[in-house]
Amino acid sequence: MQNMIEVQRLSKVFTLHNQGGIQLPVLQGISFSAQAGECTALFGDSGSGKSTLLRSLYANYLPSAGSIHIRHRGAMVELTAAPNRQVLEIRRETIGYVSQFLRVIPRVPTLEVVMQPLRERGVSETQARQRAGALLERLHIPSRLWSLPPGTFSGGEQQRVNIARGFAADYPILLLDEPTASLDRGNAQVVIELVREVLANGVAVVGIFHDAEARAALANRIFNVNSRPDPRGAEAAGDRSPA
Ligand SMILES: Nc1ncnc2c1ncn2[C@@H]1O[C@H](COP(=O)(O)OP(=O)(O)OP(=O)(O)O)[C@@H](O)[C@H]1O
Ligand SMILES: [Mg+2]
């Protein structure tokens, strides 16, 4: 099994500069790894730092201590020391990230939003259009909406556009922050199938799944982010096979 992510003794302390410099320790000495073809589910209380950890893996947040190694172009790269140019290259080629909410770019039509990661990788216009359309169709976004910017879409529609965008390119690593959170059962099931497909292709998935059903369907391992694990949460500590 090939390690795609190695996190060692990672800590994150937020300093609230506009609150008199109050220090907020969120992650404390976290270590875990994620393997190709496996889904690692981050588990923990609200506010325990799951999204913070995912953002750190995407180099949105700089850790206070510890290291994050990412397999990129065949070698392990220390993300926290990578220059900006390399971070952008890693985001273009190696790591996909589906954030909890779509960051809407004004006036850009939905189909273009989904095609953008493919364009960045030099995929032809025709292929990009086909792939983006196929994903939007699977996620039940009606084609009459494809030419509209997603800014006025419903929460669930925006989330599905966000998911289509995240799955458009074949990244070796995919980070998912509550991808099924505001979806109906049918669409949540489509997302579960999409994740299963990328896992079968050897992608390393790290995800936060609020929904226990999605977690049970996908997680190969569960990593507990709580700094003091809840003794009742025994299942949260061990490895599990997908259901
Ligand atoms: N940019 C930031 N500046 C200051 N504090 C932050 C920042 N981002 C996150 N935090 C704090 O870090 C803590 C962890 O937040 P995070 O969003 O990682 O939690 P979470 O485990 O994803 O919770 P949830 O399950 O509710 O999504 C929270 O107390 C939050 O207020
Ligand atoms: Mg979160």
Q: Fill in the amino acid letter for 132.
A: A
Please say if the pLDDT value at position 49 is more than 70. yes
Question: What are the strands of the beta sheet with 95-98, ordered from one edge?
Answer: 95-98, 173-177, 204-208, 39-43, 221-224
Q: What is the pLDDT of residue 210?
A: 87
CA 211 to ligand 2 center in whole angstroms: 13
- Which residues have C-beta within 8 Å of that of residue 111, sequence separation ≥ 6? 129, 132, 133, 136, 146, 147
Please say if the pLDDT value at position 75 is more than 80. yes
pLDDT range class, residue 102, cuts 50, 70, 90: confident
CB of 69 shorter than 6 A to ligand 1: no
Neighbours of 84 (CB within 10 A): 8
CB of 105 shorter than 6 A to ligand 1: no
CB of 166 shorter than 6 A to ligand 1: no
Q: What is the DSSP letter of 161?
A: H
Average pLDDT (224-229) is 73
CB of 12 shorter than 6 A to ligand 1: no
Q: Fill in the amino acid letter for 13.
A: V
Return the domain boundaries, the chain. Answer: 37-60+88-237
Which of 18, 24, 54 most suits a substitution to test ligand 1, by most atoms within 8 Å of the C-beta? 24
Decide yes or no: CATH 3.40.50.1360 for domain 37-60+88-237: no
CB of 52 shorter than 6 A to ligand 1: yes
Single pTM value for the model: 0.91
Average pLDDT (199-222) is 95
